[in-house]
Amino acid sequence: MDYLNNKYDVIVVGAGHAGCEAAISCARLGAKVLLATLDVDHIALMPCNPAIGGPAKSTLVREIDALGGVMGEAADATYIQMKMLNSSKGPAVRALRAQSDKKQYMDYMRNIIENNENIFLRQACITDLLAKNGEITGAVDEYGIEYSARAIILTTGTSLNGKIFVGLRSYSAGRLGEKAAYGLSESLFKHGINIKKLKTGTPPRVDKRTIDYSKMSIQPGDETLHFYSFKPDRPVRKQYPCYLTRTNEKTHEIIKANLDKSPMFQGLIQGVGPRYCPSIEDKVVRFSENPSHHIFIEPEGLGTYEVYIQGFSSSLPADVQVEMLRTLPGLENAHVIKPAYAVEYDYVPAVQTTHYLMSKSIKGLFFAGQINGTSGYEEAAAQGLIAGINAFNYLNSSEMLELSRSSSYIGTLIDDLVTKDIQDPYRMLTSRSEYRLLLRQDNADARLTPIGRKYGLIDDAQYKVFTDKQEAIQKELSRIRDAKISATEHTNSILSKYGEYMERGMKIAELLKRPNIDYSVIREIDAVTKELNIAFDVAEQVEVLVKYDGYLKRQEFQVEQASKLDKFKIPEDIDYSSLDHISSETKDKLSKIRPKTLAQASRIGGVKPADISILMVMLERHQYSRI
């Protein structure tokens, strides 16, 4: 067999959330995959909070599942708490969040990997890339062993030349207790790929036996369970609470008195940190007017005493961290198991890659996850899945997968990365999508399952579940648009509980449009609806499609208008420097990113609408292709 000679189809470097999705998708499609990781016992490790989902991120997880990925399935199998955030708000911002059992999640993902005969695990540090004539041919590890492959996916997380800071002390490491990846940055630079630095951090872990939970506010999970995966038969597990405490004036005094010991404030860390997940010292300084900040106390799993102190990320000295923690209500006697730390690491600005996540300069070289400048397990997994699919397609000269902004949050994420010069770790937010009402977590299957089927990751059983659900949605929509409810005394007695009243009979769909009426009320007043006992996920879709019909049509019109610029294709060999009436800055940006369409060009930071208008005229004048 070829693996005996170290010959593979694809090499995946790193076994975090991006690496797992990349390796599994490639292998399920039929490729022989070498999965190289610094520590085989840290596969799918959650080095920060053991949680999946939250605002915007939950949509990414459901999109991953709809395309045939595994993160949603793993989260459903290992949760210790499920909670729907923003449940009282509109469907565009509702977000499922799972607190996961850290060890069970890792075991679940490793089991998938080890049961796939196409994946070959190896604990090794890849230190060099091999390329010939602008195409990847293989890699070399720390032992000097060569591996050949026509595609490589780099998913190195924070390990690439990682350096950990605890106070003014620092040492080489990608994560606490794990060595850094060395040599690969130099190899990338040697191959003409630009490298920059970013910074992230994580809070301390505390022994739960030393916490007084009676001084905190309990944060339970939901009674009505929701899941990430669209597969049937999701497990119902016992849920465990999280807790809420707050910082106070004493906490802030200690932080301010020790800023001279912070590597960030002393300029020892050059990398830019995550804007939307700052350290506690950064929050205290930047938001000095706030008397306190929320701190969530969250279990790391059922088989450990470790508790995660969410919102308390820090790079201050370990002894100062203990002093700070013990000012929090309920943590006066806290015993710290692991200190908080900051980590600075190398990343590859994603403007050097295509929308397929393949390098523009080296064919067959793909990047996914934090190496592209992102932050978060979900963002990493989404990129890993796309990189895995496209690495397989590249090997087979098949059609590459490029998701549009109007199709998915994954498409929005990748488009932002490759067209905008990101300066800090990128986190997916609902506000980043101009089509968020269309791109909801509840309809990810309707949007992406046909694509997952087309690219070979959705099997017959899952596709039948999908088609059965879509048929049920259409059937119920048709029924409630025709069926009427009479304005009887019984009906109005029920409606009065919800502040509603009917003067005349009306179609069920018409009544469902009222703000105070949801599908459960329709079941209560209509015997036929109650008897049909429509599945929850079908009823959810029907309700959204009826209630937000006008808004959805308006956003679909916006998509149609925006797609007009996508019809203007820009030739790959266009010489931007030869174009008149466009600024030098714009020419430089266009030459660097090389957008494929006017729509992509319009989203490049610093490119003005006037530049797009001029470019459109130039394209037409020079009779560049337009479809």
For residue range 98-111, list pLDDT tens digits in order. 999 999 999 999 99
Per-domain residue ranges of the chain? 460-553, 567-621
CA distance 22 to 14: 10
Instruction: Say which residue the tokens 């497990």 belong to.
Output: 235
Position 92 scores a pLDDT of 86
Find out whether 242 and 80 touch, Cβ atoms under 8 Å: no
Position 236 scores a pLDDT of 93
CATH of 460-553, one of 1.10.10.1800, 1.10.260.40, 3.30.1450.10, 3.40.50.620: 1.10.10.1800
For 133-160, how does the pLDDT look when each residue is reduced to its tens digit (9 = 90+)?
A: 999 999 999 999 999 999 999 999 999 9
CA distance 435 to 236: 33
CA distance 510 to 549: 11
Position 625 scores a pLDDT of 42
Find out whether 206 and 325 touch, Cβ atoms under 8 Å: yes
Instruction: Say which residue the tokens 């089991």 belong to.
Output: 111
Task: Report, as ranges of residue numbers, the positions in the chain whose pLDDT lies below 70.
Answer: 1, 621-627
Helix (H) or strand (E) segment spanning residue 624? none
CA distance 146 to 498: 69
For 340-395, how does the pLDDT look when each residue is reduced to its tens digit (9 = 90+)?
A: 999 999 999 999 999 999 999 999 999 999 999 999 999 999 999 999 999 999 99
CA distance 219 to 242: 5
Q: What is the CB-side half-sphere exposure of residue 370 using CA atoms within 13 A?
A: 26
Position 332 scores a pLDDT of 97
Helix, coil or strand: residue 511: helix
The highest-level CATH class for domain 567-621 is mainly alpha
Position 1 scores a pLDDT of 54
